[in-house]
Every structure is written in structure tokens, then in C-alpha cells.
């Protein structure tokens, strides 16, 4: 459904040696001063204790931060969190809870994510 909405771009995460298997998806809107993540999903085989790959959501958040940085938005990314994930996103992404279910990744934390998931950019 997300790909049918004209205000959103949907991105898939695959692995280098198998680009036909989708590991996760992100639906992102460009608000011209930051990016808004509508949806991040891991493939069913990347959920739970027996997941195939660790870090799928983190990789997708880092992609959003890098895309924001590349557009000149200093890495600003906002999203709406499920209540039970607010603390998790604060701890794992460095996201800031700004009220209700809204969260923001500010530039300093965006750079940390970009550097973690795109280490070759620093060389």
C-alpha cells in the first residue's frame, strides 16, 4: 500500500549477494527540512530470537539519516513510535521522544548511525 502513496518513497534493504530477497522496507516522505519515516518493517525471518540478520531496522534508520544528510537536512529524521518501542529507540538509535508518540533523530545522533552503518564513508 505504501508504494501507491505519491508523497512517499519506499526503499528495500537487500544483501549484496542476493538482491532479490528483501530483508526490510522503509517508507519515507521528504518534508523539505527533514525526512519522515512512515514505516519500517523487517522481513518475517528477521524478527524474534531466531532472526536471520541483526540490525535491519537500524540499517534502515541509518539510511534515512544518511538520505536526510545528503539532502542538506543535517540528518534530521522524525517518526511515530509504538509506545512500547519509545525507550528502545532512545537507547538504540539515540532518538529523542518529543511528546506523544513522536520521535526525532537529531544531527549528532544521526551522524553516529551513519558512521555505524556506513563505515567506509569515513575513509
pTM of the model: 0.91
Domain span including residue 44: 2-122
- Number of structural domains in the chain: 1
CATH of the domain at 10: 3.40.630.30
CA–CA separation, 28 vs 26, rounded Å? Answer: 6
Task: List, run by run, the mean pLDDT of 10-residue segments along the chain (123 residues).
Answer: 82 92 96 97 91 92 97 97 91 95 97 92 58
Which pLDDT value is given to residue 96? 97
Amino acid at each position: 500500500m505504501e508504494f501507491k502513496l505519491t508523497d512517499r518513497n519506499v526503499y528495500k534493504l537487500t544483501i549484496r549477494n542476493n538482491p532479490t530477497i528483501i530483508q526490510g522496507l522503509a517508507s519515507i516522505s521528504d518534508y523539505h527540512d527533514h525526512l519522515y519515516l512512515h514505516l519500517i518493517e523487517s522481513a518475517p525471518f528477521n524478527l524474534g530470537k531466531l532472526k536471520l540478520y541483526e540490525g535491519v531496522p537500524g540499517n534502515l534508520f541509518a539510511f534515512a539519516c544518511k538520505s536526510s544528510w545528503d539532502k542538506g537536512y543535517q540528518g534530521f529524521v522524525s517518526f511515530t513510535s509504538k509506545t512500547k518501542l519509545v525507550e528502545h529507540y532512545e537507547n538504540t538509535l539515540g532518538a529523542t521522544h518529543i511528546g506523544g508518540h513522536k520521535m526525532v533523530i537529531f544531527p549528532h545522533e544521526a551522524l553516529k548511525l551513519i558512521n555505524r552503518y556506513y563505515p567506509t564513508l569515513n575513509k
